[in-house]
Amino acid sequence: MKILHRELDKGILKIRVDNADDLWHLSHIIESGDLLFGKTYRKEMKKGDKIRSEKLERIPVKLEITVEKIEFSKDVMRLRVTGVITQGEESGSYHTFNIEEDSIITLTKKWKNHQLDRIERAVKDTLTPKILIVCIEEGDADFGIITQYGVDFPVSVSKSIAGKHEISSRDKDKREFFAETSSKILENIQKYNLKTVIVAGPGFYKDEFLNYVKEFKPEILNNIITENVSTGGRAGVYECIKRGILEKAQKDLRVSIETNAVERLFEAIIKNEGVYGLRAIEKALEYGAINELLILDQFLRKIEFEEITENSREQRATIHVISSEHDAGKKLEGIGGIGAILRFKIDGL
């Protein structure tokens, strides 16, 4: 995300969407009642001649709408924002903006502190390269792209490998499997401009793969680091995240930071140094005891959670907005979507 123009005294931010992560951020920032201005398309009837019949044509226009509905589709990476036209042709009728990568929009709204924080984070994270984790074991490789909102699994490679007694066939199968896996890694490096690829897996199979890369795909060797995990598949990808391997590769990556924050919260709860749930959080606020507040992103729109976030900020607590799209977010959701690590223990909580 890039901020192109800023007039916060008037509530105005002009933004360029740089990637799919920005769409996810905006889906949690844009609210009903906001004003959204930008280039979009309206369907108009184009009159035909005697031979050709009339047909609908998409005409580029600039419109402003008052937002009523927001829909984010992770599958097609598109944000749909619907509202009533307040500026432009057909004022008073409804229109839907389809916001995608490279869209430029102007938002006018009453900005909350956590929303501005999120904008700044999106701007910073745009400059942070994504990481690919490839969890590999015999005949199977699962690819996980670590994004700001969770983990995408764009591709996997599977191949039947001959048994240990069929040496010639086994070697051929492994070479073919390694060739396809390394080609997919190269495709993803080029597609996502990746700087780091973590090749993880149990045992020595990943080391055999690395030896193949050294000989036949040396152009990707500098991007790769290897790590041990106890299992293969997607479970191995998530194990990399939970063990902090991502932080070692890139300290600022959001998923790893959020996962570690949730793990620390649960450890604090066990030690009576953490609380969860609205009532307990409100009580901790009364004592000024909150050191770190963890809140699920989808709850930020609720007034009671908004107030808790602002009050915690006033008490100089660190705020962690946790994505609901990855395992740590689902774990936090399981205890009510909000929790806090305390500065000191409180009896009765």
In terms of Cβ atoms closer than 10 Å to its own Cβ (0-12, 13-18, 19+), residue 51 is exposed
Counting every residue written for the chain, the total comes to 349
Distance CA 278, CA 192 (A): 40
Element (H, E) at 1: none
**Amino acid identity, position 159:** K
Tokens, residue 66: 């008052």
Residue 188: closest CA among 133, 254, 234: 133
Instruction: For residue 30, report the phi and psi dihedrals to the nearest 5 degrees.
Output: -70, 135
Q: List domains and CATH numbers for the chain.
A: 2-113 (2.30.30.870), 131-249 (3.30.420.60), 260-342 (3.30.1330.30)
| Whether the Cβ atoms of residue 320 and residue 259 lie closer than 8 Å to each other | no
Q: For residues 60 and 43, what is the distance between their CA atoms, to the nearest angstrom? A: 9
Q: Could you tell me the end-to-end alpha-carbon distance of the chain, in angstroms, rounded to an integer? A: 41
Q: Which two tokens stand for residue 261?
A: 């924050």
Using only C-alpha atoms, the chain has a radius of gyration, in whole angstroms, of 25
pLDDT at 252: 45
What sign results for the dihedral spanned by CA atoms 253, 254, 259, 265?
positive
> pLDDT value at position 127?
66
What pTM does this model have? Answer: 0.59
Longest dimension (CA), the chain: 84
pLDDT, averaged in runs of 10, over the chain (349 residues): 94 92 91 96 64 66 96 83 93 94 95 91 77 95 86 92 90 96 94 87 94 93 89 93 74 70 95 94 95 91 85 90 88 96 88
Q: Under DSSP, is residue 324 helix (H, G, I), strand (E, B) or coil?
A: coil
Q: Find where tokens 């933004």 sit.
A: 15
Strands (E), the chain: 2-7, 12-16, 35-46, 55-73, 78-87, 94-99, 104-108, 131-137, 140-146, 151-152, 156-158, 196-201, 224-228, 274-276, 290-296, 318-322, 338-342
